[in-house]
Chains A and B, each alone.
Chain A
Amino acid sequence: MRFIAAFVWSLILWLVLTAGSRGLLWSTEELVAGVIFSAVVAFATRDVIGERASRFLNPVKWVGFAVYAIGPLFWGMVKANFDVAYRVITGRIKPGIVRVPVDLENDAQYTIMSNSITLTPGTLTIDACPDEKALYVHWINVTEREPESSEVVAGPFEKWARRLGR
């Protein structure tokens, strides 16, 4: 299963890269070469890609990722950019590092959560500690020194990360 996950993941990138070799589609030789090279890459990286990577082959999850990227993540980034622009102009900042307790289970959830926090300006994940179930976040405007949940720092990202990384 790990081989298949790595194979599909690399074949998708190959198809994106070589699209247009016959009209807008792919010529036969590009497809054959893609299958061969993807098989080689997948064989080489089958131990690297992770124990449970095949759960991301679920198309429902892809829809979830697309909805998340276009909806909450993009909107959160727009809002945060305007907020940071306001802070740059007025100089009203109160920086600090806060410990944010999160309720996540696996590596993928921590990664999605941390990257979402870092992508929205004004917050930056310093460290993820799964053993104490917390993220350390550098925050441009600390309003709560010891937040009880990730709601004040990251909005709805924790809920989404839990769903997408499951």
Chain B
Amino acid sequence: MSSERGMSLIVKTTARATIPLIGIFGAYVVSHGHLTPGGGFQGGATIAGAGILFLIAFGFGEMEKRYSHGLYSALEGLGGLAFLGAAMLGLGVAFFYNTLWHNGPLFNGRPGTLLSAGYLPIMNLAVGLKVFTGLVSAMVAIAAYRRWGE
């Protein structure tokens, strides 16, 4: 089987069912980074695993149709900017001052609930987005670089 056509029917069908599950599990790991083990990098790498599963199961041809370099590049930059923005929120006191937790309107719930821990959930989401888009872009770039087969 060539890499254009991807893998067999069973792999493809199983990938269809599991890719949303991997995606939502990664989102769970990212969004609960301040409550349970895991966080931005781990969850982002998990979601990138879904993208890599798509790339391997369906082949580079399908991935090429759905992957947009501009979008992924912009999202990666956005993740970095959101992290920086969350870090600058408390700049009146200090860089990385967790003002959302101390007196902010949001994310200052009881510790242990989802909306707690100040800027940590925002930063986890930002890192997750950055890691996901970065890893998928890297894998697509590696898959696209194939002087070997020619």
Measuring CB to CB, which residues of chain A are less than 8 angstroms from any residue of chain B?
A: 6, 9-11, 13-14, 17-18, 21, 27, 29-30, 33, 37-38, 40-42, 44-45, 47-50, 53, 107-108, 110-111, 114-115, 125, 127-128, 130
Contacts and interface: CB of A to CB of B under 8 A. Distances in A.
Contact of A33 (B10, B13, B19, B114): B114
The 3 closest A-B pairs by CB, nearest first: A10-B24, A111-B13, A41-B23
Interface of B: 8-10, 12-17, 19-21, 23-25, 27-28, 31-32, 54, 66, 109, 113-115
Contact of B9 (A17, A37, A42, A111): A111
Given A27-B113, A115-B10, A128-B10, A37 B27 contact: yes
B24 A48 contact: no
Residues of B contacting A: mostly: helix
A49 B21 CA distance: 11
Contacts, number: 79
B24 A108 contact: no
Given A107-B12, A108-B13, A130-B9, A45 B114 contact: no
B17 A49 contact: yes
Contacts of B8: 127-128
Given A27-B113, A130-B9, A37 B31 contact: yes
Given A29-B114, A33-B114, A47-B66, A18 B24 contact: no
Given A47-B66, A107-B9, A6 B20 contact: yes
B20 A37 contact: no
29 contacts: A10-B20, A10-B24, A11-B24, A13-B28, A14-B24, A14-B27, A17-B25, A18-B28, A21-B114, A27-B113, A29-B109, A33-B31, A33-B114, A37-B27, A37-B31, A40-B27, A41-B20, A41-B27, A48-B19, A49-B16, A50-B13, A107-B12, A107-B13, A110-B10, A111-B9, A115-B10, A115-B14, A128-B8, A128-B10
